[in-house]
Amino acid sequence: MKLKVYSITGEDTGRTIELSDDIFGIEPNEHAIYLDVKQYLANQRQGTHKAKERGEVAGSTKKIKRQKGTGTARAGSIKNPLFRGGGRVFGPRPRNYGFKLNKKLKRLARKSALSAMMKEGKIKVVEDFDMEAPKTKEFIKILKNLEAADAKSLIVLDELKNNVYLSSRNLPTVKIVRGSDLNTYVILNTENIILSEPAVAQIEAILKK
């Protein structure tokens, strides 16, 4: 599979890059994608929620009324969940929402996500993505040259470049990641993917394992 290589000015360099069909051209496995995205979102949850139960709320343990003869239900404590200010029944407790997935399945999910984006024509390759100085206006100009200014864009580099990061951090629709940090959720949660040539080699080296 071949793609044209562009410069950051948006011009066609006249060169093409060969992309691995085993990574960018497979039939997407939707279940693998689902599991990987589910794991990613589960890992974002802090799991620090906590409600006080009957034994944890403050209050007297004195029996609040006599057992019989009141005409109402018996009650032994003001901390009873039935009363206002009482403990909560089966309230949430701190927990870890994460779960394990096999490495092979996670690789399959990333390959599937990249292949799905490739089928939709949402991947573009640039020869290099670097800036001499951190300038947001210049960065926006580059995005316009690459026809990626009006949509959510993911820029994948082989290494984080400080000027590129500083130029893009005020733009809510742009995300910069390294090829080694690429995950299924990030790939699918965008409308354009711009890969630098070194990043392509990095991604293929990781996903071919």
Whether 152 contacts 192, CB under 8 Å: yes
Q: What are 48-62's pLDDT values in tens digits?
A: 999 999 999 999 889
| Single-letter residue type at 197 | E
Q: What are 65-123's pLDDT values in tens digits?
A: 999 999 999 999 999 999 999 999 999 999 999 999 999 999 999 999 999 999 999 99
Whether 126 contacts 194, CB under 8 Å: yes
Pairing outcome for strands 153-157 and 123-126 = unpaired
Round to whole Å and give the CA distance between 37 and 34: 5
Q: Is 209's pLDDT higher than 80? A: no
Tell me if residue 47 falls in helix, strand or coil. Answer: coil
| Single-letter residue type at 5 | V
Q: What is the 3-state secondary structure (H, E, C) of 122-158?
A: CEEEECCCCCCCCCHHHHHHHHHHCCCCCCCEEEEEC
Domains annotated on the chain, with CATH:
2-29+101-207 (3.40.1370.10), 46-96 (no CATH)
Q: What are 169-185's pLDDT values in tens digits?
A: 999 999 999 999 999 99
Place of tokens 């999910």: 109
Round to whole Å and give the CA distance between 166 and 187: 21
Residue 1: the pLDDT is: 80
- In DSSP notation, 67-135 reads SSSSSS-----TT-TTSTT-PPTT------------HHHHHHHHHHHHHHHHHTT-EEEES----SS--
Q: At what angle do helices 30-44 and 103-119 cross, to 10 degrees?
A: 110
